[in-house]
Chain A
């Protein structure tokens, strides 16, 4: 099992230049993601989770350290790393559900229309949206939009799927359905995903590895491995949740997440 990691983040410092000041969002963060990992970034608001994910996506350049994926250095955004955003407006409003999923397949993957359509239909079916195939995004509910975005990302069969709190803006019931669906999809295709959340429960449910970050500036605090072993039925998930909670909020007791 000495396989080289799929994604390697090595001593990465990320800074934002604002007029008059420089904000350090993360400082010398290192971790690596293996193939078929469900790798979760967890931490309180402002600890740089989104910033890290954007850097892996290629939208931000590290001011220190390097990010490599399968040995290639990440320098710009590309379809080998598909992003699923938190925002509901991430679908192209001028394309139907089917067209939204097909577009990057044809444009970036250079598939023929026929191949793209077959693949798109396959993944749309997997997120149970065949009914809405020809609907425009503005007629969909928030949860449906997020599932289209997931279908779009997965249809591209990227090296890694990057998800930034994709379910955070959903109601609790829809969120659970979406989480279950994502896990079901993972069982089927074993894709690699990096998942950002600030909910400890969601992290334990989704992830097999969890990276805990502490804020101001964002640093790695700990890593939780073999999260799969925690089960909600025998109470071990609950215990893990409490442990993680205590650890994250140890030095800032009382601060809401």
Chain B
């Protein structure tokens, strides 16, 4: 520090870059980093572990009437698929499910649009959700059977009930949470009425809407299987619930497990393939959800 008095002045000392400049601002992740980052890969690992546990326990108890092994179950599953029984039952369930799910979503959409446009609609939605959403859909089944008879009408009715409230509630709260800035931007573009809802509100509230759709799906699926267990055959062809019930009565326990497995598999496929894909292509890519 050999500084003479009077010569001190601010200076800028340039620092040449040390070593090789990597120039790296953005870098592709390696294959393994990407694989482990992928939630699906991690989940498959978990499922494989559970499957191994099942097989081991089944062999240990060696009581196929109470707890068949995974291999027995898979064998029953294959057999039932080959004979065409299981696919037919699954399709029967899915058909009813999709009808009820779609009807529920359409009604939720109408109710939410009424709710965001009018104060009365909003009060109506809030009151109805508060009253009806704690009511398990299955509890409405006896009444539905009385009104719509022993058929798909009753099933669709209770499915609508199980889908409508969660979807409407989530969509509505999603719409209300859209920031004032985005609303002003939309109106700046001259968007009004339905165009405003479609082009601004729905995408902006998409995380909530998607959450509502997922909850609605889970509720509907459970409600349907439970309802089918209760009253079984409708219009000559039962669904998965009936398949499970029937095979239990025949003491075909591996088939019961195969039916349960099918219920789980369909649930997993919808959750992990369909909803995850939608999520990845929308809210995750937009940074609206981590």
Contacts and interface: CB of A to CB of B under 8 A. Distances in A.
Interface of A: 57, 59, 76-79, 81-83, 85, 87, 89-90, 92-94, 103-104, 107-108, 136-139
B273 interface: no
B278 to A, nearest CB: 13
6 contacts: A78-B188, A79-B189, A81-B188, A90-B181, A107-B191, A139-B287
Contacts, number: 62
Contacts of A137: 287
B189 A136 contact: no
B181 A136 contact: no
The majority secondary structure among interface residues of chain B is: helix
A78 B190 contact: yes
Contact of A108 (B179, B189, B203, B288): B189
B129 interface: no
A79 B190 contact: yes
Contacts of B189: 79, 103-104, 107-108
Residue among A77, A78, A83 facing the most chain B CB atoms (10 A cut-off): A77
A77 B190 contact: yes
Given A93-B288, A136-B286, A136-B287, A108 B182 contact: no
A104 B199 CA distance: 11
Given A79-B188, A103-B189, A107-B199, 12 more contacts: A57-B188, A78-B188, A78-B190, A87-B181, A90-B181, A90-B185, A92-B182, A94-B206, A94-B288, A136-B286, A138-B288, A139-B287
Contacts of A139: 287
Contacts of A103: 189
Interface string B163-204: 000000000000000010110110111110000000110011
Nearest to B288: A93
A132 to B, nearest CB: 11
Contacts of B190: 77-79, 107-108
Interface string B105-145: 00000000000000000000000000000000000000000
Nearest to B195: A107
Nearest to A140: B287
A90 B206 CA distance: 17
A57 B184 CA distance: 10
Contact of B187 (A59, A89, A136): A59
B188 A83 contact: yes
Please name the 3 residue pairs, one residue from A and one from B, whose CB atoms are nearest each other, closest first: A138-B287, A77-B187, A87-B181
Contact of B184 (A85, A92, A108, A138): A85
Contacts of B204: 92-94
B170 to A, nearest CB: 18
A81 B199 CA distance: 20
B197 to A, nearest CB: 14
B234 interface: no
Contact of B285 (A78, A89, A90, A136): A136
A57 B185 CA distance: 11
B61 to A, nearest CB: 52
Contacts of A87: 179, 181
A139 B286 CA distance: 9
Contacts of B188: 57, 77-79, 81-83, 104
Contacts of A104: 188-189
